[in-house]
Amino acid sequence: MKRLGILCLSVVLLGGLLGIQPTPSRADSSDQTAQLAAQGGTGIVATIKAERLNVRRVPRANGSILGVLTRESVVPLIGRDRVGAWLEAVTPFGIGWINARWVSTNASILNLPITDDQVLPFATVITSAVVFVRRGPSVEYPIVDRLRIGDEVDVIGLHSRNTHVEVVTPRGRRGWVVLEAVRVEGDLSELPFSDLTVTPLAKVNTFRLRVRQLPSQTAPVIGKARLGVAYDIVGVTSDGLWLQITGDFGRGWVARRFVIVIGNLGQFGLDH
């Protein structure tokens, strides 16, 4: 009997050294479920039955993905769409939507409030050509993603001149698309004019423009900016005559008269 007690103690100690945690009892699991349900405020939780289930920003199969839940994860529910196909949940990635087909719940989802009317608007690609999603609202910005006809993207911002919309793609990439290439649906009244805060570009319009260490013609040259290349603008002098740009030379200053400014300099206290 004494030997059995020593054996049991050894197993417990070994488990602790190996990081093995005791299996929670059914009562412990119930307590955890109750705590999660309280977080949602509805008392209803969902247990994930798929191996991997996407959490989407909106209740649509093409909505951008916030994160992925794994099998047996438990999340509090706070709402649903009108037909009960999508459930709004509090997840480790923020509030998002999960497909009701791949979960089980501790109560009827019909007891959840309908919350899909609060979802932000979306855009559907209507052109047959490939639509480029760019880092900023101009062809001078690099491409961050590509869309095809029928693709849906979440709309999160507007252009102050109504030429583009800022979107989040199903792959979670944020960028801009030309407005004429998409059909936008939903209420846009709450969306910001986010083009005003996009990093502007300086497109060089002279051959081998000198980049200087300071905003002065007498400052040391640290590199050359190439003709036709657009560089990020990260600073502007108070008189607007010099622009600080980034490139393979690091950070340096160029005279504004030798570049074309693409975007808005308002974030630096200047007009375009």
Do 242 and 256 contact (CB within 8 A), yes or no?
Answer: yes
Q: Which residue has the higher pLDDT, 160 or 15?
A: 160
SS3 state at 102 = helix
pTM over 0.85, yes/no? no
pLDDT tens readout for residues 207-256: 999 999 999 999 999 999 999 999 999 999 999 999 999 999 999 999 99
pLDDT at 39: 60
pLDDT tens readout for residues 30-62: 455 455 555 657 899 999 999 999 999 888 887
DSSP state of 122: E
**Ordered structural domains, the chain, with CATH:** 25-118 (2.30.30.40), 122-194 (2.30.30.40), 201-268 (2.30.30.40)
Q: Which residue has the higher pLDDT, 90 or 3?
A: 90
Tokens of 175: 């960028």
**84 has pLDDT over 50:** yes
Q: Dmax over Cα atoms in the chain, in whole Å? A: 92
Burial class of 256 by CB neighbour count within 10 A (0 to 12, 13 to 18, 19+): buried
Given phi > 0 = left and psi -120 to 50 = alpha, else beta, which region is 263?
left
Quote the CA–CA distance of 114 and 147 in Å, as a whole number: 31
> Mean pLDDT, to the nearest integer, of 138-152?
94
Going by pLDDT thresholds of 50, 70 and 90, the confidence category of residue 171 is: confident
To 5 degrees, how large is the angle CA 153–CA 157–CA 114?
Answer: 65
Do 89 and 96 contact (CB within 8 A), yes or no?
Answer: yes
